[in-house]
Structure 1
Amino acid sequence: MAQHENLPGLEEVRFHRDEDLGGLEIRLARYKRFAFDNHWHDCYSIGAALDGGSLCMRNQDNTVVRAGQLALINPGQVHAGVPERERGITYLMFYVEPEVMRRLAAQVAGRDLGYPEFHRVIVSDPRLFEAMGAL
């Protein structure tokens, strides 16, 4: 998994964009006090909670992502980012452009299926979590 010990402060962000990978954006962040109110992105957001936890969906269930879990957010899906009070959250987030995700899904399926859609926001899958961190 990503070395998040390199983030010394309570509020720390490292951001990288790779044009060779279709404009893939990667964020390694730690937040203790800073919170994102409801918002959305034009791209897919695929995150791995490395430490702590965060409210990520303000809904009837108040969906929370915790360390070791993945958050899968579709383009246009309204979500928030409110760190747990005691521990905050440290996470790795990949932002993938819709056309890139569509091409990747077509490669896996062997044909164009259109834009994929995540049906679960929170996924607990240790193997997938580790694979994402190895990227």
Structure 2
Amino acid sequence: MGETAAWTRVDDGRHALDLLTASYRRHRFTRHSHATYAIGVVTCGEEEFHYRGELRRAGVGSLAILEPGEPHDGQAARPDGWAYRVLYPSEGMLFDGRERAGFREPIVTDPRSVHLVRAAHEELTAGVDPLAAHSRLVWAFEAVIQRHGDLRPSPGGPRASDAAATRKVAEIRDRLLADLRCAPSLRELAAGVELSPFHMLRVFREATGFPPHAWLVLERVCHARHLLAAGRSPAEVAGATGFADQAHLTRWFKRVTGVTPAAFRNSVQDAARQPA
């Protein structure tokens, strides 16, 4: 591992979030604190740092949760260094209207939370699908709070009645389908049906079996099939259906249909040319 560090900043419409992707061998962080939370996963090696009067160690599979204003340092615990991904959410972004929680331990071993935090970080830094990335971020924060915060798990707020939930899901679908090329943000979707992002995600997934970003990708693939069957090129179809590029379309199209867009288009066109 070399000495590398890259910062990314994303915005969900209300809050800015900084993300760090880094690896260190010799670097030592001086004693400092953050104005935000620091939630990170070690992806290689092991880090050690002093926090609340104790020396802590975080290795692969560990989740670190540091609170605002808490002094700490940081260095490699082993000669080969460490690599990690860290999210720096503000209190408002992390709790998003929930009662504030304290965190019992700064280092926890929790494969589910580690997976969710890392997946959200990777999606956000890739920047390919903001709706999917911010959805994963909401699930990650919910897991961290409920599994490791000082609050008892709660059902996440009052449930909408069946009729109201059906109406809200229909409104979300309409909003997503209004323009396949430009997905609304997670916060815009939630505000449009007067729900918190977490509650909106839960209501939508209970009704459809998918979170909004996954449901939208499937709709994009469905529309892409119609355009390809009509003779449009994969590159044209990617732009018309909201995929980042042709490679992005190809990955999802093959996952859903088992063939590439070009193979699908060619097979449909060849069939159409066959004599009756």
TM over 0.5: yes
Q: Does 1:26 align with 2:19?
A: yes
Q: Please give the residue correspondences for 1:27-106 in structure 2 after superposition, counting only pairs within 5 Å.
A: 27-57=20-50, 61-103=54-96, 106=98
- Distance in 1, matches of 2:11 and 2:56, equals 32
The correspondence for 2:101, drawn from 112, 116, 126, is 116
The structure in which a higher percent of residues are helix is 2
Structure with larger Rg: 2
Q: Which amino acid aligns with 1:48?
A: V
Query: In terms of mean alpha carbon deviation, does 56-65 or 72-81 score higher?
Result: 56-65
- Give the Cα separation in 1 of the matches to 2:92 and 2:24: 30
Q: Structure 2 regions of 5+ residues with no counterpart?
A: 121-276
Per-residue displacement from partner, 1:101-131 (whole Å, max 9, x unpaired)?
A: 2316x1xxxxxx2x32212100101111111
Read off the aligned partner of 1:10 and give its amino acid letter: G
CA offsets 1:71-103 (integer angstroms, 9 cap, x no match) = 100000111111124220100000001221231
Structure-2 residue corresponding to 1:125: 110
Moved more, 95-104 or 71-80: 95-104
1:109 is matched with which residue? none
Aligned length: 119
Q: Label 1:59 to 1:100 Cα distance change in 2 as closer, same or farther (>3 A).
A: closer
3-state SS of 1:62 partner? strand
Q: Looking at both structures, which has the greater relative contact order when contacts are Cα pairs under 8 Å and sequence separation is at least 6?
A: 1
Higher strand residue share: 1
Q: Are 2:12 and 1:12 equivalent residues in the alignment?
A: no
- TM-score, normalised with respect to structure 1: 0.80
Q: TM-score, normalised by structure 2?
A: 0.41
Q: Name which of structure 1's ranges 65-74 and 13-22 shifts more when overlaid on structure 2.
A: 13-22
**4+ runs of 1 displaced by more than 2 Å?**
58-61
Q: What is the distance in 1 between the residues matched to 2:87 and 2:55?
A: 23
Find the aligned partners of 1:58 and 1:42 in 2 and give their Cα distance. Answer: 16
Which letter does structure 2 place at the counterpart of 1:33? Answer: R
Distance 2:11 2:51 in 1: 33
Give unmatched runs, 5+ long, in structure 1: 1-8, 107-112
Contact (CA 8 Å) 1:101, 1:116: kept in 2 or not? no
CA-atom RMSD in angstroms: 1.7
For residue 119 of structure 2, what is the amino acid of its counterpart?
A
Q: Matches of 2:75 and 2:18 in 1, distance apart?
A: 21
Measured in 2, the distance between the counterparts of 1:10 and 1:85 equals: 14
In the alignment, the residues of structure 2 paired with residue 95 and residue 76 of structure 1 have an alpha-carbon distance, to the nearest angstrom, of 13
- Alpha-carbon distance in 1 for matches of 2:51, 2:20: 22
* Identical counterparts, % of pairs: 27
